Structure 1
Amino acid sequence: MVYSMTGFGRGKKANDCLTITVEMKSVNHRFCEVTVRMPRQLLMFEDKIKKVVLQYVKRGRVEVFVNVEGEGLTKKKLQVDWQLLSDYYQSLQEANERFSLQDRVTLSQLFSLEGVTEIVEEEAGNEEIEQLLIDATHEAALQLKSMREAEGRALINDIREQLSFITECAFKIQMFAPEVSEQYRERMVKRVGEFLQGMIDETRILTEVAIFSEKTDINEELKRIHSHVEQFTAAMGSGAPIGRKLDFLVQELNREINTIGSKANDSRIALQVVEMKSALEKIKEQVQNIE
């Protein structure tokens, strides 16, 4: 199966206290890179999230976004500075005695004094939260993989069409090629005959045609084009990540097509070279998006 490198996935899990939503999107990348954005209380699970994603993705840049709704991530706790509270109380009692006052000191007064109480948040550290997070990540990654698979099928179908077109062009060139030398010989005979008024050195003509044929011979290039197309087709059915291999084959095909273009001394062959290069450019764009 061939996978695209672009896709999107979403997973959502919840318990009585909170809901965890994991979203991830992937784009083209030369290697495999995973980045995670999440609440700081969950940072301890970052490596586990990345390991889950890497079970489904072998190449591409994946961005993971974790959102938490609810109060289950932290627990609120009241802290009392008993020493400070005691100091406040002693000071108020001393003030009553020193100034002959009869004011009662109440608990509400004491607890409203600055610095006596503080509400702090503690991380819950709940194993259930971790399991919800991992399950949501699996669900999102599975959706991502499914979307990448569907896009991969579309890419492969288009690539197969372009490869078939390149093969057809190569066969046409193969049919035109033998005629090029013959046409060159006829032009040579005509020009030399006109110049020498019919006195033609047939041996010299054959030598020139042989040299021309050697310079313009494209049989090896055509064979390599057919070989690269076969390798391309075989790779697409291998089931392994093939993006880099296909990118290499595109470069090799481009090299052979350019060589044929530089050797071509025929308008029909030149036209087929242009058509092949156009199809190969489309393949190149598609290959850039294959895992």
Structure 2
Amino acid sequence: MKLLCIGDVVGKPGRDILRDFLPQIRQDFGIDFVVANGENSAGGSGITRNMAEYLTRFGVDAITLGDHIWDQRCFEGEIDSIENLCRPANIPPENPGKKYLVIEKNSMKIGVFSLLGQTLMKIKADCPFRAAVSVCEELKDKCDIIILDFHSETSSEKVSMGNLLDGKAAVVFGTHTHIPTADARILENGTAYISDLGMTGPWDGCLGRDKNAVLQKFMDGRPRAFKVAEKDPRICGCIVEIDDASKKPVSIEQFIFPKFGEPLPPTPEEIRLAQKRLAEEQAEAQN
């Protein structure tokens, strides 16, 4: 089985690049299961049921969240109705939403959950390390493999979480910083690990936001709105291959589409229109 783990989906550019290319990526790479962090998919902050359904329609099987979970005011009334989405498992239990998912795909039961780190987070969260052990214990008899999205600011927290769950979870990946790290590897006891998947969204900006507005704030210190950037969308994440028999990861590779320095290929719709124009031109020439 092949898993594609996708980093923070930011705004319309992040949603649209998944719409345009994720179905073909799944086919080209033989992807069986896709998990994506969707906490920034609605206007760059938060998520809604419509946005979750949009991501699902174009190939995302499981959606995880982070500290922007409640940024869209309507969402607390919608979250319980979304079957393939889970909230961070270590926010207070009074919050609505599922603390984990168990999804069956190709006869393999996949457990998915997310946790918040404790540094520079917007909302209150309990100790992620104690929560990780607790959720893995709860999931171990319910699924064949466990995937954790650790939404955390610091690399030290992320590396420590990988070490804590090494051998307990099949995959531990980090999100939140929007910058992909180059440390994808299989840990000593068999867990596939990467500190941060990076961002799925517009890279001609600053972490998905308009670069000029961010730069101006750094220069003068005054608050201002940070609109979502628009140009140079990319999909960032990793591909993990799981051995069907042992249920253990055999490889993990960073995934960036298109690679930095390469242009975005034409979308399926652009190809369709080009083919239509060519056919019309050929027909006109024959007449």
Q: TM-score, normalised by structure 1?
A: 0.21
Q: TM-score, normalised by structure 2?
A: 0.21
Greater fraction helix: 1
Higher RCO (C-alpha under 8 Å, 6+ residues apart): 1
Greater fraction strand: 2
Larger Rg: 1
